[in-house]
């Protein structure tokens, strides 16, 4: 069984919630509506800010942003019954390769480790999800990231690690190779994967503890077959509340029935019935 973290439509209960630090109110509203169903929450750092190649750091700088995440962590603890994890702010290389490197010797990997050390040294009380960064489409690059974490004693203190260099990776073989390598290097640790593509999940599920995605806003197999094609709809992201619900349920059912992914904590029959009831409207 793997844990799937996401932020579903507000009236569909889900046990594992993904919160974005740059849009926290939306997540808190979801938590209020589903407070008794939530088992765990991951607070994401808001790394998508780096889609803009002109941005080189988090809003307000590293120390300001980490302090903001800690305050949000405390707020989420107050409003939720579930365990809360916080992703230490990392620097990606996949949105715009090399744009976050300071030099050849101080790349996005070293910058991320520097942030991790600041997080754990200044806020040891926080449940940190430790990001593993790498260079774009380079599985072996995570070796140096993990080696630095071992050198600084992080791997002796923390057991939950997030592979953060795969969010936009389209090549399934690269994604799977990276996950397998991390599993060997972090033996006995819990591994989370940020944003893996749906077709890659069969090749990685036995190596990971959890993953997250918000890609369900686009139609997957069940929505295409039973909603889009019969109604001659365009294949595009959801436009309304009805499609948000339908596409979310489709993503879950596609993962389970098409790709044989064993997702923890859900009643499959219930979600199938809800999907069918939406189609009947």
Q: Yes or no: say if 215 and 198 are a contact pair by the CB < 8 Å rule.
A: yes
- Residue 228 is predicted with a pLDDT of 96
**Helix (H/G/I), strand (E/B), else coil: 83:** strand
Task: Quote the pLDDT of residue 278.
Answer: 96
Q: Residue 4 pairs with which residues in a beta bridge?
A: 211
Q: How confident is the model at residue 120 (pLDDT cuts 50, 70, 90)?
A: very high
Is the pTM for the entire model greater than 0.95? yes
Q: What is the pLDDT of residues 16-72, one digit of tens each?
A: 999 999 999 999 999 999 999 999 999 999 999 999 999 999 999 999 999 999 999
The per-residue pLDDT for 173 is 96
Q: Which DSSP state fits 209? A: S
Mean pLDDT value across residues 157-182 = 96
* Structure token pair of residue 250: 């489709």
The alpha-helical segments, DSSP class H, found in the chain are 24-33, 62-79, 108-122, 142-151, 154-157, 172-185, 201-204, 221-223, 241-253, 268-279
With bands split at pLDDT 50, 70 and 90, how would you rate the model's confidence at 148? very high
pLDDT level of residue 124 (50, 70, 90 thresholds): very high
Q: For position 55, what pLDDT does the model report?
A: 97
Sheet strand arrangement including 16-20: 3-5, 210-212, 190-194, 160-163, 128-132, 83-87, 40-44, 16-20
192-233 pLDDT, tens digit each: 999 999 999 999 999 999 999 999 999 999 999 999 999 999
Of the pLDDT bands very low, low, confident and very high (cuts 50, 70, 90), residue 93 is very high
Residue 234, Cβ neighbours under 10 Å: how many?
Answer: 7
How confident is the model over 158-186, as a mean pLDDT?
A: 96
Question: CA 112, CA 90: separation in Å to the nearest integer?
Answer: 5
Q: What is the mean pLDDT of the chain?
A: 97
User: Each residue of 252-273: pLDDT tens digit?
Assistant: 999 999 999 999 999 999 999 9
Segment 127-151 shows an average pLDDT of 98
Helix (H, G, I), strand (E, B) or coil at 161: strand
Q: Scan for tokens 């996005």, then name that residue.
A: 108
Query: Coil, strand or helix: which one is 33?
Result: helix
């Amino acid at each position: 069984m793997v844990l799937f973290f996401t932020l579903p439509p507000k009236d569909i209960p889900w046990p594992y919630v993904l919160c974005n630090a740059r849009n926290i109110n939306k997540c808190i509203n979801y938590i209020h509506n589903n407070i008794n169903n939530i088992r765990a929450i991951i607070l994401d750092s808001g790394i998508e800010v780096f889609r803009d190649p002109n941005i080189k750091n988090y809003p307000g700088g590293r120390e300001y942003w980490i302090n903001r995440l800690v305050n949000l962590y405390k707020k989420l603890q107050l409003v939720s019954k579930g365990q809360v994890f916080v992703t230490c702010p990392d620097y990606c290389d996949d949105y715009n390769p090399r744009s976050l490197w300071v030099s050849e010797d101080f790349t996005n990997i070293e910058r991320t480790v520097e942030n991790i050390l600041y997080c754990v040294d200044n806020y040891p009380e926080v449940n940190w999800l430790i990001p593993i960064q790498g260079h774009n489409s380079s599985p072996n690059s995570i070796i140096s990231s993990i080696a630095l974490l071992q050198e600084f004693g992080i791997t002796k203190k923390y057991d939950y690690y997030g592979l953060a260099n795969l969010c936009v990776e389209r090549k399934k073989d690269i994604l799977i190779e990276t996950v397998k390598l991390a599993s060997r290097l972090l033996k006995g640790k819990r591994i989370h994967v940020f944003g893996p593509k749906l077709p890659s999940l069969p090749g990685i599920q036995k190596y990971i503890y959890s993953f997250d995605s918000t890609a369900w806003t686009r139609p997957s197999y069940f929505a295409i077959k039973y909603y889009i094609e019969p109604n001659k709809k365009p294949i595009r992201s959801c436009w309304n509340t009805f499609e948000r619900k339908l596409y979310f349920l489709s993503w879950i059912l596609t993962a389970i029935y098409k790709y044989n992914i064993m997702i923890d904590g859900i009643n499959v029959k219930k979600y199938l019935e809800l999907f069918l009831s939406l189609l009947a409207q």
